[in-house]
Structure 1
């Protein structure tokens, strides 16, 4: 997985992909120092791969962070999966888009259980409903609640304090745009044979 939220993290992630696919350290260093086009290096090794691959570009909410269009190329060797909240961006014009909705209540509760939120099912359901069953909100709240060892906060306390306003340092008062419209863009060259 390559974190595509910023230009530097995306570039470093793609150089890591190149190295994983066989690029030598001196080739990666040359691309890192801009003595060689980094996109060409990554795609040289991706296109030579003897195995099908899945490349996940996560959190690509600002396509400009990926620089020019040389980073996203058609391929028959693998599949690129791009996660973004902005599926209408021009960068995705050739992509096959799949909008994802929020989780159903049972799945939302499972996310909270997986994060080991100390609570019973009824409270987890209440928390999931309060967060709109949105995966990002569930992970943020669940991680917060499950890692409060020295000063534990119950689900009820969390919900009560959160309803009083965003003045608390731990409040999950996310702007509506942060939890709405999550989309997955799946840029397909061909499906991986193993996934058919």
Structure 2
């Protein structure tokens, strides 16, 4: 008698089926990664816009407020804040500096470190974690530059001393040119509208 054929004939996956599953998984993973990285890019752009708005408020408050204003970096909250100094006798008393309640702080997203933020005052890197950059109303304001880094991007927000809004510089290109002060009397255009 002949032995019976094995009934345990198993069918395995073919190479084509395995390749198709791998291709489908790769496409799904790439779609998820693209979506996550584009979300981080949008969040980074939002932080840059918020930091620009904060610099604009700093410029406006330094020109028109009654109290000294300052920029402060809070490492524990990974944020930049606009501060104002309450009136007091001792100008060196740090407890007199309070967050401006009308201006929201700029918090860095979870995927960014506080070390991906740099602040320059008149071209020199500044540490604003211990003491705010303070400006007295009506006095000359220093040039302020905030630099934000994320992956391969670098965005600079440059606030010249005479400007009320920062200039965004990305990839070495200005989004808007800086307007220089011009004395209309000396240029002979004193009757022109400005």
TM range (shorter): under 0.3
Higher helix share: 1
TM score, norm. by length of structure 1: 0.25
TM score, norm. by length of structure 2: 0.25
Higher strand share: 2
Higher CA-based Rg: 2
